Amino acid sequence: MIALWNWDEAIRGNKILRAIDAVFAAVRREEAAYQREFGVVPRFRIGVHGGEVVVSEQGDTKRAIGVYGSTINIAARMEEAAKAHDVGCAISGDVAQALSDDERRLQPLGDEQVKGISVEIPIFEYRVDDGRALKRPTRTGSSPRVEIPV
């Protein structure tokens, strides 16, 4: 799924982070119902990046919306980084830098080379608040480096 936001609105008051919290909290709130109905609880990861995109409507009989650009590529790579680091949400350094300074749930994961981008991208974990007590693992020494396939 791709969510498109107005940049100023997304970062104002860290609304994008509140939305991420709400998505995880909604799934957590419905865990029992998912388990009962489908025998499984959805698990997912989120990758976040911001910037310009190109959006187009495609098709005559079967309409689809296409979203293109390096912003989409980097967001997808952030999702891959979330998986590689076993975290719920990974955010690019550009977005982390634009958010409010008081956000204590953003933790650096390191700079990594990502597919399709020539420079390393700073990546941050956003420690999601889904209504459970947040686990705050301690990190000692330097951050482990994970290579995202190029």
Share of the chain above pLDDT 90, in %: 59
Cβ contact 90:148 at 8 Å = no
Compute the average pLDDT of residues 138-149.
Answer: 41
Least confident residue range of 7-11, 68-72, 130-134, 138-142: 138-142
Distance of CA 125 to the CA centre of its chain: 8
Across residues 118-143, what is the average pLDDT? Answer: 68
Cα 63 to Cα 20, 66, 118: the distances in Å are: 28, 10, 34
For each of the domains in the chain, give its residue range(s) and CATH number, in order of start.
7-126 (3.30.70.1230)
**Token pair for 6:** 């107005």
What tokens were used for 108? 């650096």
Per-residue model confidence (pLDDT) at position 141: 43
Interior/surface letters 19-47, b for 16+ CB within 10 angstroms, e for the rest: ebbebbeeeeeeeeeeeeeeeeeeeebbb
How confident is the model over 40-85, as pLDDT tens digits? Answer: 999 999 999 999 989 898 888 888 888 888 899 999 999 999 999 9
**Paired strand residues for 89:** 46
Locus of tokens 């290579």: 147
**Rounded to two decimals, what is the model's pTM?**
0.80
pLDDT score at 100: 79
CA 84 to chain centre: 13
Banded pLDDT at 143 (limits 50, 70, 90): very low
